[in-house]
Amino acid sequence: MADLMLTTENASTQWRSQNGPPAADRGPRHPRKKWLEVLAGAALLLIALIALVPPRAADFSSHPAPALSYADAVNRIVMRQQVDDRVAASGGRSMLMTHDARTARVVVLFHGLTNSPKQYEHLGTLLYEAGDNVYIPRLPHHAERNGNAKTLAGLTAEELRACADSAVDAARGLGDSVVVAGVSAGGTITAWVAQNRPDVRRAVIVAPLLEIGRVPSFLGAPLMNLALHIPNLTRNDSPDSLRPDRELGVSTRAIAQVLRLGVAVREASDSTGPRTRDIIFVMNANDHTVKTAPAVALARRWAMNGATAVVYQFPRSNGLPHDIAEEAHPNADPALVYPTLEALIHGEPAKSALASHRLWPRQ
């Protein structure tokens, strides 16, 4: 018994030397430290509550007002360019490549977040030389003179919807068959077009921003809500003197607004089919910026509602960047990407780069 008591006492002494005296012997905590803990807990609780608050309801339905003639369409775009010229950096204005008359096919190209219409200058030229009229609108708040990533904080999902509507409206006067394509944020806009515009013949949706890569899906909505409610956070990258039309960097508010438009598309697809009936997704296995699974799920829902929807994916071995249409990226491969996109936009079979890489429906 004495040995047991001695062992217990030694163990107690050893515990005290490692962990300090029991809580009852330590005395009260410093009041300032206690209040800091309370404030930290309250701040975390407030952040959690804000993240659970959904964005305000909005009308994301289409409000079409199609151009009545070729002249009407051109006049609308010229007016758009005049507005651009008052605010846009060199190379940042909306582009129109026209054969001076209606063509059998007109292509609308939506550029990505932080980019400008100049992104599609070479792809647009390929389509133009193939006989298409091509319209590349400048997205709201993009390519502004002396702009940076913070400039994009004013972007809203409603503005993106209106931009999409007006671009398709103009395209209606430029040609008989309207095809819409876009990459990244432009892909999300194209997805909205596919869901809402029956006057579009085909939609080619490239790497749409529906969910952010490497973020667990269950955190997607709370993080979007949080970014919509708290002040914008910006990371500005060094500007490219050769491309003053690009706002390099990250704006949390702008990303959240693009995601918000994507949420509207996905929610609408749960109850109604897409108005565009021929839809092609192009994803990239080397892309860590956006997730592929939400695009596949959206394609499946659209197919269940009667549309023809296909999902292709560039293999990882190509090493392509997220924005596969941006030539300025060091890993860009326009010689591979542009002919592939041109074929899909024209409704031709996928080139060899994608033909054997169809994710859905499985071959």
For residue range 137-171, what is the model confidence (pLDDT) as tens digits? 999 999 999 999 999 999 999 999 999 999 999 99
Task: Determine what percent of the chain is predicted with pLDDT higher than 90.
Answer: 75
Domain containing 271: what range?
65-360
Residue 29 lies in a domain: no
pLDDT at 9 over 80: no
Q: What is the pLDDT of residue 59?
A: 87
pLDDT at 178 over 80: yes
Residue 31 lies in a domain: no
Q: What are 38-54's pLDDT values in tens digits?
A: 555 555 544 555 555 57
Higher-pLDDT residue of 14 and 56 is: 56
What's the whole-number mean pLDDT along residues 183-207?
A: 98
Helices 31-51 and 217-229 cross at an angle (nearest 10°) of 100
Q: What is the pLDDT of residue 5?
A: 40
Q: What is the pLDDT of residue 256?
A: 96
**How would residue 6 be classed by pLDDT, with cut points 50, 70 and 90?**
very low
What's the whole-number mean pLDDT along residues 171-182?
A: 98
Least confident of 93-97, 144-148, 300-304, 341-345: 144-148
Residue 15 lies in a domain: no
Residue 223 lies in a domain: yes
**Highest mean pLDDT pick, 145-149, 214-218, 288-292:** 288-292
Q: What is the pLDDT of residue 241?
A: 81
Q: What is the pLDDT of residue 352?
A: 86
Q: What are 320-347's pLDDT values in tens digits?
A: 999 999 998 899 999 999 999 999 999 9
pLDDT at 36 over 90: no
What's the whole-number mean pLDDT along residues 9-21?
A: 50
The number of folded domains in the chain is 1
pLDDT at 30 over 50: yes
**How would residue 247 be classed by pLDDT, with cut points 50, 70 and 90?**
confident
Reported pTM:
0.87
Residue 46 lies in a domain: no
**Residue 154's CATH number:** 3.40.50.1820
Residue 58 lies in a domain: no
Q: What is the pLDDT of residue 34?
A: 67
pLDDT at 112 over 90: yes
Mean of per-residue pLDDT scores for the chain = 89
